[in-house]
Amino acid sequence: MTIALWIAQGFAAFVFLLTGTLKVVTPKDKLAQKMHWAADWPPHRIKLLGLAEVAGAIGLVLPSALHVAPILTPIAALCLGALMVGATQTHRRLNENFVPSLVLTVICVAIAAAHFTQGV
């Protein structure tokens, strides 16, 4: 179970680090070409969302890896899961593919559940 949990955490952290960094460093106009929801958002909110994803990615891995406040890992997973619930709703509203955000929601909830039930 521990290996599968680390794989899930690593995968989710990689995806959130990648997408969060993209939101932080890419100008809004360029980002809106691929991410249609970004056209309606102010630039500072997009950057804040990116920072939240980067912070969540760090929270998925570092607390457990360093054994420093490991309770932060499932909390980060739940917070990222909540973000992905919003992303799923946004993509559904825009008639876009919502499956990737739904899959990330499930992965984040599974990570949190594994940490809370097994005390990993």
The domain of 111 spans: 2-21+53-118
Q: Dump pLDDT digits (tens) for 27-50.
A: 999 999 988 888 889 999 999 999
| Residues found in the chain | 120
Q: Dump pLDDT digits (tens) for 64-91.
A: 999 999 999 999 999 999 999 999 999 9
Q: How many domains does the chain fold into?
A: 1
Res 120 pLDDT > 70: no
Q: What does pTM read for this prediction?
A: 0.91
- The answer to whether position 26 is within a domain reads no
- The answer to whether position 76 is within a domain reads yes
The Cα–Cα gap between 66 and 64 comes to: 6
- The answer to whether position 34 is within a domain reads no
- The answer to whether position 99 is within a domain reads yes
- The answer to whether position 46 is within a domain reads no
- The answer to whether position 80 is within a domain reads yes
Q: What is the pLDDT of residue 118?
A: 83
